[in-house]
Amino acid sequence: MSKVRFQDIVKQKDGFLRGPFGGDLKKDIFVEKSCDTYKVYEQGVVLNNDESIGRYYISNDYFKKKMYRFEVKPKDFLVSCSGVNYGAIHQLSENIEKGVINQALLRIRLDSEKVDDNYFYYLFKALIVNMIVGKKGDSTIPNFPPLSVIKALEFELPEKDYQIQIGRLLSHLDNKIELNNRINAELETMAKTLYDYWFVQFDFPDANGKPYKTSGGTLVYNPTLKREIPEGWEASNVLKVAHLLGGGTPTKTKKEYWNGAIPFFTPTDSDKNIFSVETEDYITAEGLKKSSTRLFEPYTVFITARGSVGRLALNAVPMAMNQSCYALRAKDGISYTFLFFLIKELIHHLEVKASGSVFNSIVSNDIEYTNLALPSDTTLMEKYAAIVEPIFEKIESTTKENKKLSSLRDWLLPMLMNGQVTVGEAS
């Protein structure tokens, strides 16, 4: 390994570039998207690893006049430079939409002869971002350090061939995680499609195994729902099939209540995964005892009621929960899989109801007084569960596998970077 400065591994002419002044990208200069426009790349692209994000465009003339220096190219690295998530990094793909960075981004172009792209990505996440974050002061709003500071950062850099080996190993882990995520998304789509087909479109199997509504099954007007529903069904709320429970938070000033072994679910723990297997915060048994929260059994449905409103999660392990969420526990004889999608349907109704206003919270009355079409007995729900529960079991298993893979990757990152572990030992 050899010690290098950050400025030594980037393009000498345009290796580092902060985005333009905010005044150069005011809303009054934005135009409608066309074949001749340039997208303004925002922090959301980096924070969500999603290059489709983009609300604003500038004209070709304005690009040539003032923004050409800030153009992005395939394989550029973009780094978030403001807010609590500064230091996040994303590498642009080969087929990006032409565009420019905004004021909240840093563009990095590597010298490909000196450093491997994959290796740099993990080097940045494991080492460089910590150097950057370590430079911030005590302000509640973090400040990204000047480029002069970033350029001067020093670190050990192995030979290019070994960089490639490290990058390839870590990429394999991330690729497996991403594959598992895609599988889970497809499985969830399958389960939801069947739910919609049976319980929203009313094409569940009739006595002859044919789609009920399509085959001429009897529909009856329901005055509560103001629409037709299958004969024998009723208008009822989620509480017909579930218990509604609340949470709480142990006193923050009591250190003995925190950093224990009990996962503590909050809205920040909600993500794209159905199952929650870990949380950002953990509480102690004493914290659980001395607060209004409780330990929720696995397969309880958590709804985020404030913050990121309307997100759902199933706890794969026993968890406590804070007061910004509701918990719904399926009643005896009701499958958690059916309850999960029933609540998704509830959230959809609340979003539609809130159309034109801000959907910024859910209160218990929203759950108690929103009626949905439900079968009068559990037979159809049980048939649905028999099909879908194995799908959910696969999703849960894959989610737990991803947790192990992520933990392995995060353990390997610093060990490989400082030479404590070799690629051969890690493989």
Q: Which CATH number fits domain 188-377: 2.60.40.10, 2.60.120.380, 3.30.1300.10, 3.90.220.20?
A: 3.90.220.20
Phi, psi for 244 (deg, rounded to 5): -95, 125
Alpha-carbon span 380 to 374, nearest angstrom = 10
Query: pLDDT band for position 133 (50/70/90)?
Result: low
User: What are the pLDDT digits (tens) for 184-211?
Assistant: 999 999 999 999 999 999 999 999 999 9
User: What are the pLDDT digits (tens) for 360-375?
Assistant: 899 999 999 999 999 9
β 301-304/275-276 pair status? unpaired
Average pLDDT, stretch 120-148?
72
Tell me which H or E stretch contains 240.
none
Query: Which of the pair, 85 or 29, is modelled with greater confidence?
Result: 29
Q: State how far the alpha carbon of 407 is from the alpha carbons of 49, 113, 183, 233, 420, in Å.
A: 20, 31, 20, 47, 17
DSSP bridge partners of 222: 227
The mean-pLDDT minimum among 172-186, 217-231, 334-348, 357-371 falls in 357-371
CATH 3.40.50.2300 correct for 2-157: no
Burial of 136 (0-12, 13-18, 19+ CB in 10 A): middle
- Residue spans per domain, the chain: 2-157, 188-377
Alpha-carbon span 374 to 377, nearest angstrom = 9
251 has a pLDDT exceeding 90: yes
Query: pLDDT band for position 142 (50/70/90)?
Result: low
The DSSP string of 31-68 is ----TT-EEEE-HHHHHHT-TT----EE-HHHIIIIIG
Average pLDDT along the chain: 93
Q: What is the pLDDT of residue 136?
A: 47
User: What are the pLDDT digits (tens) for 27-66?
Assistant: 899 999 999 999 999 999 999 899 999 999 999 999 999 9
pTM of the model: 0.85
Query: pLDDT band for position 229 (50/70/90)?
Result: very high
320: closest CA among 361, 273, 260, 367?
260
Query: pLDDT band for position 312 (50/70/90)?
Result: very high
Q: What is the pLDDT of residue 335?
A: 97
357 has a pLDDT exceeding 70: no
User: What are the pLDDT digits (tens) for 367-406?
Assistant: 999 999 999 999 999 999 999 999 999 999 999 999 999 9
